[in-house]
Amino acid sequence: MRKVGIIGLGHVGVTVAYTLITKGIVDELVCIDTDEKKAKAEFYDFSDALAILPNQPHIIMNSYEALADADIIITAFGDIRLSVEGNDRFGELSLNAKNAKEVGQKLKAIQFDGILLNISNPCDVICALLQHYTGLPKERVLGTGTSLDTARMKRALAQHYNVASNNISGYVLGEHGDSQFIAWSTVQVNHLPFSISEAETKELEEKTRNGAWTIVEGKGYTSYGIASCAVEIVNAIFNDAHQLLVVSTPFNEEETYIGYPAIIGAKGIVDTIELPLSQKEKEELAKTAQMIQEKIDHSL
């Protein structure tokens, strides 16, 4: 039986839940939210959908005890308004550091021993805090990291070169935030190396880094892209796919959680690969890792 828990039923958490239900990915889904009224409303809305859908997962609301034997728990708590109002990627840190401690301690108390996938921001810092408070092995705590930023990079390049976005390969590395960077040495268009001007590089990096704000300005939050990233990771875990995905992972060289490619399977993070980065890219990776670690140290 494939059992998933989701903690936090905001725009992202609900979108992940709905996707898992409609795609038939879960047999049992446990949803947690501090707003009891919201949790009840989502339960009935999901139940209405189940009256039509061919998939019939069992849905449980607001029971931490029911999370004990979950295969995967997804954390999506937070308040995006704190980031939007201050135009600050770390706007949710204070709130979510407290949430991570509370959630982590509760999961430890029920002896949860599955895989923890974090979406909550700042993603890399919260991953580290959740691992600390749950005591879970590092390979079983990961985050969506720069998976969404990598998707935004592919979208920007696809539009720039008028090609299909799935014909763009490469990675955005580092923080899921302002210190991220496109590792241009890994990028290919139509699976071929390409040349790009400095002006084009800056323009595309700006579009990638600020992609979230473009969406937020229009609708107040992001949901579909990040939910799709989370579901892809869930699928890789359930299928033991050993799929190479860019996630928030404990990267040994930098000794902190950071957006970097990792092999994802049934046990979580199976391995990381060593990218042949340029010297400049290695320096950028070290810089963003140091910034993330400082935030972690400050939050513990």
Over residues 124-148, the pLDDT tens digits come to 999 999 999 999 999 999 999 999 9
The pLDDT value recorded for residue 196 is: 86
Binding residues for NAD(+): 8-13, 33, 96, 119-121
Q: Rounded mean pLDDT of the chain? A: 95
* pLDDT at residue 168 is higher than 90: yes
**What residue segments make up the domains of the chain, in order of their start?**
3-143
* pLDDT at residue 269 is higher than 80: yes
C-beta neighbour count of 29 within 10 angstroms: 23
Catalytic positions, please?
176
Cα–Cα distance between 51 and 139 in angstroms, integer?
38
| Architecture label for domain 3-143 | 3-Layer(aba) Sandwich (3.40)
Binding residues: 8-13, 33, 81, 89, 96, 119-121, 152
Work out the average pLDDT over 24-43: 97
pLDDT-based confidence at residue 208 (cuts at 50, 70, 90): confident
Cα–Cα distance between 124 and 134 in angstroms, integer?
16
Closest CA to 266 of 238, 225, 294: 238
Strand order through the sheet with 141-143: 58-61, 28-32, 3-7, 72-75, 115-118, 141-143, 243-251, 256-265, 268-272
Dump pLDDT digits (tens) for 61-109: 999 999 999 999 999 999 988 888 877 779 899 999 999 999 999 999 9
